Copies of this chain bind each other. A is one copy, B any other.
Amino acid sequence: MSNSKKIAGGVCAPEGFAAGATGAGIKTGKVLRDDIAVVWSEAPSVSAATFTTNKVKAAPVLVSAEHLKAGRNRAVILNSGNANACTGEQGMKDARAMADAAGALLELSAKEVLVCSTGRIGVAMPMDRVLKGIAALHPSRSGSKAAAAAIMTSDTFAKEFAVEVTGKNGKFRIGGIAKGAGMIDPNMATMLCVVTTDAALPQAVLRKELKRSVANSFNRITVDGDMSTNDTVILLANGLSGAAPDLGDFSAALDEVTRALAHMIVKDGEGVSRFVEVEVTGAMTEKEARTAAEAIANSTLVKCAWAGGDPNWGRILDAVGYCGIRMNEAKTDIFYDKLAAVEGGMAAKTRIAKLCAIAARKAFKVTVALNLGKADYHVWTTDLTEEYVRLNLGE
């Protein structure tokens, strides 16, 4: 078993990574806020990334996918305030120009740079300001927090996390920054995340590991069921720790980082007052367990009930019933934490006040036991509050 401990430094915690941020005036408002960030490996690195599955992909996603092909990327240039989505040919030119400018700054080829944008859709990037901003960046070993803050949109806090692992084959570090807020759904809705490591791993392993870890973290969170045009998770590994870690050690540590960042994104969802794990057990297949978990987690009525501290199991059972999976009402149990709310499709003997006490907490777990097969799945989600609606009434 490896020994992992949480450390400071975020995306710059691993050896040889630097980050920085600046305000280029892309975000509008009275106060100039940082809206451009960079993450950079001083040494050569290998890279992997996963992108949104939305058929409408923003220009930076298309350009990053192109640049990722060689798997030798060393830097990521990011901006908030403008998503550079639905911007046609001009958007592609602008995303490429961002990679060019970051490459010039860091003495890399444009192809070594990945590009991430988040913010307003359908508006041209103010490229004069963007390019001036990129030229003004000064990445440093202490720049993680500033970079994490610069990519925030409606996020209320900057998200970073890092661990140091003492494993079988030596010591290595993994760190990351992320942004989320609204529009968070499985398959990576509006979220950006950059993870770095000084472990030495072949690119093929890195790619496989990132895919696996994203499936267990960012693809299991949902705030509102919507999914964006810009989502990207990037992993850079420069090997500077000298450790070629045991794969099990690396997997566990990577999951720790991605899960921590995913949970921060859910907890910072727009107007969120409750963090809920929804687990479905005993389904016939994992796909069916997932369908049911996501139907519950995305049910407007279930989420509204939670916002009111109401353990309304009728709405949960209803969602399981309409989501299309195989289920038998008379075999279905529902639990709030470990307390039975439903047994065999009917109200359990538990006093309702006890269930209400759990639903009133800031965080709880709902388990639906279908008692049919052996497949399980869980997702992390939130309630739906009046505050959420207020925040999304328009821009």
| B-binding residues in A (CB < 8 A) | 53-57, 83, 85-88, 120-123, 182-183, 185, 187, 224-229, 298-301, 304-305, 307-310, 312-315, 317-322, 327, 329-330, 342, 344-347, 384-386, 388-390, 392-395
Further contacts, 17 of them, CB under 8 A, given A56-B321, A88-B345:
A56-B318, A56-B345, A57-B321, A57-B329, A86-B314, A86-B317, A88-B346, A121-B317, A121-B318, A122-B313, A226-B319, A227-B318, A300-B392, A305-B392, A305-B394, A307-B389, A310-B395
**Distance from A142 Cβ to chain B, minimum over Cβ atoms (Å):** 36
Please tell me if the beta carbons of B314 and A121 are within 8 angstroms of each other in the complex: yes
With a CB–CB cut-off of 8 A, which chain B residues contact A299? 225-226
Which residue of chain B has the shortest Cβ distance to A85 in the bound complex? B314
**Distance from A85 Cβ to chain B, minimum over Cβ atoms (Å):** 7
With A300-B300, A305-B393 in contact, is A123–B347 under 8 Å at CB?
A: yes
Please tell me if the beta carbons of A301 and B392 are within 8 angstroms of each other in the complex: yes
**Distance from A301 Cβ to chain B, minimum over Cβ atoms (Å):** 5
Q: With the chains together, A144 CA to B195 CA distance in Å?
A: 65
With a CB–CB cut-off of 8 A, which chain B residues contact A393? 304-305, 307-308, 310
Which residue of chain B has the shortest Cβ distance to A310 in the bound complex? B394
Chain A: interface secondary structure? Answer: loop
Q: With the chains together, A314 CA to B54 CA distance in Å?
A: 13
With A300-B224, A314-B85, A317-B121 in contact, is A389–B384 under 8 Å at CB?
A: yes
Residue among B54, B87, B321 making CB contact with A54, cutoff 8 Å: B321
With A301-B224, A389-B389 in contact, is A394–B86 under 8 Å at CB?
A: no
Please tell me if the beta carbons of A301 and B54 are within 8 angstroms of each other in the complex: no
Please tell me if the beta carbons of A187 and B322 are within 8 angstroms of each other in the complex: yes
**Distance from A124 Cβ to chain B, minimum over Cβ atoms (Å):** 9
**Distance from A322 Cβ to chain B, minimum over Cβ atoms (Å):** 4
With a CB–CB cut-off of 8 A, which chain B residues contact A120? 314
Can you list 12 residue pairs at the A/B interface with Cβ under 8 Å? A53-B322, A56-B329, A86-B345, A88-B344, A122-B313, A122-B314, A122-B347, A225-B298, A226-B318, A300-B384, A308-B393, A389-B389
Please tell me if the beta carbons of A386 and B392 are within 8 angstroms of each other in the complex: no
| A-B CB proximity, top 5 nearest | A310-B394, A308-B393, A121-B314, A56-B321, A308-B394
Please tell me if the beta carbons of B55 and A327 are within 8 angstroms of each other in the complex: yes
With a CB–CB cut-off of 8 A, which chain B residues contact A304? 388-389, 392-394
With a CB–CB cut-off of 8 A, which chain B residues contact A345? 56, 86, 88
Q: With the chains together, A85 CA to B342 CA distance in Å?
A: 13
Q: With the chains together, A56 CA to B323 CA distance in Å?
A: 11
With A122-B313, A226-B300, A346-B88 in contact, is A320–B385 under 8 Å at CB?
A: no
Q: With the chains together, A182 CA to B312 CA distance in Å?
A: 15
Which residue of chain B has the shortest Cβ distance to A230 in the bound complex? B318
Q: With the chains together, A55 CA to B87 CA distance in Å?
A: 44
Q: With the chains together, A226 CA to B301 CA distance in Å?
A: 7
Q: With the chains together, A330 CA to B92 CA distance in Å?
A: 13
Residue among B57, B123, B346, B385 making CB contact with A87, cutoff 8 Å: B346
With a CB–CB cut-off of 8 A, which chain B residues contact A394? 304-305, 308-310, 312
Please tell me if the beta carbons of A86 and B342 are within 8 angstroms of each other in the complex: yes
Q: With the chains together, A123 CA to B347 CA distance in Å?
A: 8
Q: With the chains together, A319 CA to B310 CA distance in Å?
A: 30
**Distance from A357 Cβ to chain B, minimum over Cβ atoms (Å):** 14
Which residue of chain B has the shortest Cβ distance to A298 in the bound complex? B225
